[in-house]
């Protein structure tokens, strides 16, 4: 897997996978949904802010923080999306999917 992002940013997903495979005890296996330099260009910043991945006992778990949570649409979609991302990362890293922990900031019903 190789991508040239020269001048375009940083491949966070590739970095997450590399850390899971090569340094699974790292407590900085983080995927950020925010690019602060682009926030002023957005109508609304992403509700999901970051996810942190943990490896323990051959299981990959994920904790995701969501700054604003819309009960009807946003929360179910984010649960499905990040649970799937955790399963996909576990698969490519030869691990078992573990827990998905969802932390909500401003919860709206």
Q: Which domains does the chain have, with CATH numbers?
A: 12-35+44-108 (3.30.572.10)
Q: Which residues pair with 106 in a beta bridge?
A: 68
Backbone φ and ψ of 21, nearest 5°? -75, -40
Residue 83 exposed, middle or buried by CB count within 10 Å (0-12, 13-18, 19+): middle
Strand duo 59-70 + 96-108: pairing:
parallel
State the pLDDT at residue 53: 99
Residue pLDDT, tens place only, 3-62: 666 777 788 999 999 999 999 999 999 999 988 888 899 998 899 999 999 999 999 999
- Tell me the catalytic residues: 47
Distance set, CA 13 to CA 29, 40, 76, 85, 88 (Å): 10, 24, 22, 10, 11
């Amino acid at each position: 897997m190789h991508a040239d992002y020269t001048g375009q940013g940083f491949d966070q997903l590739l970095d997450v996978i590399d850390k899971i495979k090569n340094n699974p005890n790292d407590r900085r296996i983080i995927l950020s949904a925010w690019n602060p330099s682009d926030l002023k260009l957005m109508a609304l910043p992403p509700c999901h802010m970051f996810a942190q991945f943990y490896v323990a006992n051959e299981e990959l778990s994920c904790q995701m923080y969501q700054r604003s949570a819309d009960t009807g649409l946003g929360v179910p979609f984010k649960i499905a999306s990040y649970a799937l991302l955790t399963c996909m990362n576990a698969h490519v890293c030869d691990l078992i999917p573990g827990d998905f922990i969802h932390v909500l900031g401003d919860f709206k019903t």
